[in-house]
Amino acid sequence: MSAPLEAVLFDYGHTLIYFDERPHATLVDAYEKINRLLGDTLKREVPAAQVLIEKVSRAVDDEIQRDYAAGRPEEVEIATIYDTALRGLGLELEPDLIEQVMELEQEGWLNSVHVGPDVIRTLEALRGHGLRLGIVSNAAYRPRLMKQQLAALGLADFFDAVSFSSEVGVRKPHPAIYADALSKLAADPSRTLFVGDRVREDVQGPQAQGMRAVLTREWRQEDDPGVADFVIQRLGELAPIVNRLAPGTRGADTYNEVTSRE
């Protein structure tokens, strides 16, 4: 019988939250604020909000996606990417001003980020078991900004620890990011369940460190090649799994009789 559960680690995007398309109106508002900030600080005319969106915001997104697609384990240095994009428009900014640009853009994105419909009650149920909860996320943005987002969405208080790739320096499935999260939770991998939407990063990566893994298909439908310990169609199906794995309940072997793999 498997070791009783003591902790649950979650992926973030497309597991706990989902996204609208690019939030045009709020992003324009954010970049109008950025336009005014840069104009006031630099004492010169700067490109209009729409130009900044195209040449900075989209350029940063594209560069991050290219880097992820290349499969490098190291996380990008996002301020450097912003700096390069801004210099392409003739804007040379001090580091603290680049930080302000990133923060304003993140505020513009916030309205497009939504907590999943089952998330709060699922987290409350897991808390009811006395489980320690954490987040392990590939996120290029500064940890400070990501933690601000968690707080704004009402999620921060549920989690004992968060590990973002921008803080650790490497992305899932690099072992170091899982090790960081387990260390922060003081959790044994054999007593930890990982929940996420990607097979490589959220199933195979955690399993290689000794964790059990749940693949969720609520917003992304990756095919499971038969490696996930459990497959769920929405996060609300996680609680019955935890009921069987958490202390004082029956172990995983019993649950396999009524597996959620579909």
- Is residue 251 pLDDT above 50, yes or no? no
Q: What is the pLDDT of residues 211-225, one digit of tens each?
A: 999 999 999 998 888
- Is residue 257 pLDDT above 70, yes or no? no
Residue 70 structure tokens:
């290349």
Helix, strand, coil percent content, the chain, rounded in steps of 5: 50, 15, 35
- Is residue 253 pLDDT above 60, yes or no? no
Check residue 248 and give its pLDDT: 54
Closest CA to 51 of 82, 89, 4, 78: 89
Q: Is the dihedral of CA 206, 257, 125, 218 positive or negative?
A: positive
- Please give the DSSP secondary-structure letter assigned to residue 257: G
Cα–Cα dist 220/88, whole Å = 35
Check residue 224 and give its pLDDT: 84
Q: What is the pLDDT of residues 144-163, one digit of tens each?
A: 999 999 999 999 999 999 99
Closest CA to 213 of 224, 201, 229: 229
Question: What is the pairing mode between strands 17-19 and 113-115?
Answer: antiparallel
- Is residue 256 pLDDT above 70, yes or no? no
Cα–Cα dist 121/155, whole Å = 11
H-helix or E-strand spanning residue 193: strand 192-196
- Is residue 83 pLDDT above 60, yes or no? yes
Check residue 247 and give its pLDDT: 60
Closest CA to 135 of 1, 9, 5, 3: 9
- Is residue 114 pLDDT above 90, yes or no? yes
- Is residue 258 pLDDT above 80, yes or no? no
Q: What is the pLDDT of residues 56-81, one digit of tens each?
A: 999 999 999 999 999 999 999 999 99
Average pLDDT on 99-127 reads: 95
- Is residue 260 pLDDT above 60, yes or no? no
- Is residue 24 pLDDT above 90, yes or no? no
Cα–Cα dist 63/60, whole Å = 5
Cα–Cα dist 107/152, whole Å = 10
Looking at every residue in the chain, the average pLDDT score rounds to 92
SS3 (DSSP) at 78: helix
Cα–Cα dist 155/132, whole Å = 14
Lowest mean pLDDT among 2-6, 95-99, 135-139, 196-200: 2-6
